A = this chain, B = another copy of it.
Amino acid sequence: MTERAAFGDWMKSVQAAIEEAMASFLPRETDTPARLHEAMRYASMDGGKRVRPLLVFAAGELFDAKHDALARAAAAVEMIHAYSLVHDDMPCMDDDALRRGKPTVHVKFDEATALLVGDALQSQAFLVLADGDGDVVRKLAMVRLLASASGSVGMCGGQAIDLASIGVTLSLEELEQMHRLKTGALLRASVLLGALSGKTPSDLETAALDKYAEAIGLAFQVVDDVLDATADSATLGKTAGKDAADNKPTYVSILGLEESRLLAEKLRSDAHLAVAQFGNKAQRLRELADLIVQRKA
């Protein structure tokens, strides 16, 4: 019970830190163009569980990273995530009107603004990451890592495969490859950005973090699919049952509900095992793996 309470407190403190970091790293709403800046904040403030920032901070603990460096890296990766949600929700993609229980950006503002919000949030992410103090060689490595995880062989590439897969029968391997790019790449980047915010990890340590990231990345998606099939829109804060309605392949449609739940549990064990070498210092990473698998929304 003590451990649990401690994790909850830690989570809240990171969430507060990322909220503060986002507020300070985003252009002010009063600066021109004010409406764009207002929409950028609408899209990225006060949002979600902040899983990626939590991963940044948790991985940073392994390498004694300083708070300011972690807050900067976490804000950058969260801006990329926020931009991807804004663009995903647009009519030409998922056409979703609800996100985190609020109207999506193109509904609240307009489509052109949503397009620009996403574009500008991406630029801002790289600006934030390249700015500030810290070792320049590692900073440049972080820019490359985030750019690669965001682009055509990362998140955007996963989206493209996802689009092409509607109504198509995917094998489990193809589904995994799609998610490895679509959500896995940015989750992996979060873990490695956290590590790079401290000392440079060794190859062995990077390999361990990669294994951890791979496991939680897939777990994240399996659980998403389970929730999409079982929870309601109010709980999720977004439209439930969309995948089935859109005829999209999911873990549930391929493996069934029970098998998907078992897979999520197995991936949780894999994640724990991957970071065993870090001992106590990896406690937050283990707790985050638990959170990802046991979440209800």
Interface residues of A (CB under 8 A from B): 27, 31-33, 35-37, 40, 83-84, 87, 90, 92-93, 110-116, 118-120, 122-124, 126-127, 130-131, 136-137, 139-140, 143-144, 146-148, 150-154, 156-157, 159-161, 163-164, 177
Cβ 8 A contact of A160, one of B33, B139, B140, B144: B33
Q: Is the CB of A36 within 8 A of B157?
A: yes
With CB as the reference atom, state the residue of chain B lying closest to A83.
Answer: B119
Q: A32-B157, A153-B27 are in contact. Are A112 and B93 (CB under 8 A)?
A: yes
Residue of A36, A151, A153, A161 with most chain B CB atoms under a 10 A cut-off: A151
Q: A87-B115, A93-B115 are in contact. Are A123 and B156 (CB under 8 A)?
A: yes
A297 to chain B, nearest CB (A): 27
Asked whether A120 and B87 contact (CB < 8 A) given A27-B152, A152-B40, the answer is no
Contact in complex: B87, A151 (CB < 8 Å): no
A-B contact pairs, 8 of them (CB 8 A): A32-B177, A33-B164, A40-B152, A93-B112, A112-B163, A122-B123, A126-B126, A127-B144
Q: Is there an interface contact between B160 and A35, defined as CB atoms closer than 8 Å?
A: yes
Secondary structure type dominating chain A contacts = helix
Are B92 and A161 within 8 A (Cβ)?
A: no
Whether B140 and A152, one on each chain, are in contact in the complex, defined by CB atoms closer than 8 angstroms, is: no
A151 neighbours in B (Cβ, 8 Å): 120, 123-124, 127
Residue of B nearest to A123 (CB): B151
Cα separation A116 to B153 with both chains bound (whole Å) = 12
